[in-house]
Amino acid sequence: GENVEQHPSTLSVQEGDSAVIKCTYSDSASNYFPWYKQELGKGPQLIIDIRSNVGEKKDQRIAVTLNKTAKHFSLHITETQPEDSAVYFCAYIGVTGGGNKLTFGTGTQLKVEL
Amino acid sequence: GAGVSQSPRYKVAKRGQDVALRCDPISGHVSLFWYQQALGQGPEFLTYFQNEAQLDKSGLPSDRFFAERPEGSVSTLKIQRTQQEDSAVYLCASSQYRTGEETQYFGPGTRLLVL
């Protein structure tokens, strides 16, 4: 079935350090991999996404890498700031089941300490 | 422009009551999704609409859950005879087109507590 494993579940870094979150998925036909940030009491907000025709995408301090062979994708945040503290979810849209629904990871609670 | 809005933001129901949760998607968005998010977990898919057609309801946990989008814009998720296990945040998302590989924009969610 559709499944995505996300690690670590919690991550604490010092301000200015980098943070890396990794996900592994099961649906080999997946082509779209978004990352969402969720703050307390709010809905998930898209921060970056990647499609299977590229291996890496960068947007300022945020980058995502994709290894389709290994079915891994990762989120990299550089120069972390306190406002980066939130829960981050990886997700993918599988081709099975209609090709529209997002399957989410279990989330990573990122805490950026001063 | 305006994002996805949901109402109410919070709902407390007694076990056995019926509840209705409303979603206003971004204007003009073709696709609308409902997800359920338990405490400390990622969102889980419930159902999907393309305009007024409900194309996938494979994630609805029981026949007590019912969703509609009669005019292809506003959607309502109804839960009949609520149970304690229904307590969760219910998220609505919309996307512009009908293809799968595009951004889904989420609303703030409705937090449902069943006592």
Six token digits for residue A6: 């996300």
Contact A32 B101 (CB under 8 A): yes
For B24, the token pair is: 């206003």
Of the pLDDT bands very low, low, confident and very high (cuts 50, 70, 90), residue B57 is very high
- Segment of A24-33, B1-10, B62-71 carrying the highest mean pLDDT: B62-71
Reported confidence tier of residue A1, pLDDT bands at 50, 70, 90:
low
The 3-class SS string of A18-52 reads CEEEEEEECCCCCCEEEEEEECCCCCCEEEEEEEC
pLDDT computed for residue A95 by the predictor: 66
A100: pLDDT strictly greater than 90: no
Average pLDDT for B22-43:
95
pLDDT at position A20 = 98
The more confident residue out of B97 and A81 is A81
Q: How far is CA A93 from CA A2, A9, A63, B101, in A?
A: 9, 21, 19, 7
Q: Across residues B44-66, what is the average pLDDT?
A: 94
pLDDT value of residue A53: 80
Question: Which residue, among A25, A51, A101, A108, would best test binding to B if mutated, counting the most B CBs under 10 Å from its CB?
Answer: A101
Q: Which of A87, A102, A106 to mutate to test the interface with B (most CBs of B within 10 A)?
A: A102
Which pLDDT belongs to residue B99?
Answer: 67
